[in-house]
Amino acid sequence: MRAVIQRVNNASVEIDGKIYNTIKRGLLIFLGIEELDNQEDIVWLSGKISRLRIFNDITNVMNLDIKDIDGEILLISQFTLYASTKKGNRPSYIKSAKPDFAIPVYNEFVNQLTEDTGKIVKTGIFGSYMKINLENDGPVTISIDSKNKE
């Protein structure tokens, strides 16, 4: 699994010209899933994100996690996180999991992140064309890959 996490002041997802979900201060997470992902990846990545200390404390040091600030979470599926650009100029998405595999894994990740954070995890609609609006705070953007554990 690959995640790109952005610390945001607010974010929203628009589908078919209508706002589908919105959050205030918190995390906007883009999640890519590959066929090799399993329960271990789900648990590890969710735990890492839920404990990620990227919010400022009173001394302006990034020392707080999403629970500490009572922040919100918006999780968006994004198969393009597994784009390969080794050959030519058109990215290949061969490593991205197909929907029949990815949707249950995505749903399980939502459940795990909800459990780990104690927060409602808002989402878009898997596989839909979505417009994401955000105000990045910092900017702070973190990329995590469960296979590299970094």
Asked if 80 is an active-site residue, the reply is yes
Q: DSSP of the chain, one letter per residue? A: -EEEEEEEEEEEEEETTEEEEEESSEEEEEEE-BTT--HHHHHHHHHHHHT---EE-TTS-EEE-TTTTT-EEEEEE-GGGG-B-SSSSSPB-TTBPPHHHHHHHHHHHHHHHHHHH-S-EEE--TTS--EEEEEEEEEEEEEEETTTT-
**Active-site residue identified among 22, 59, 80, 123:** 80
Active site residues per annotation? 80
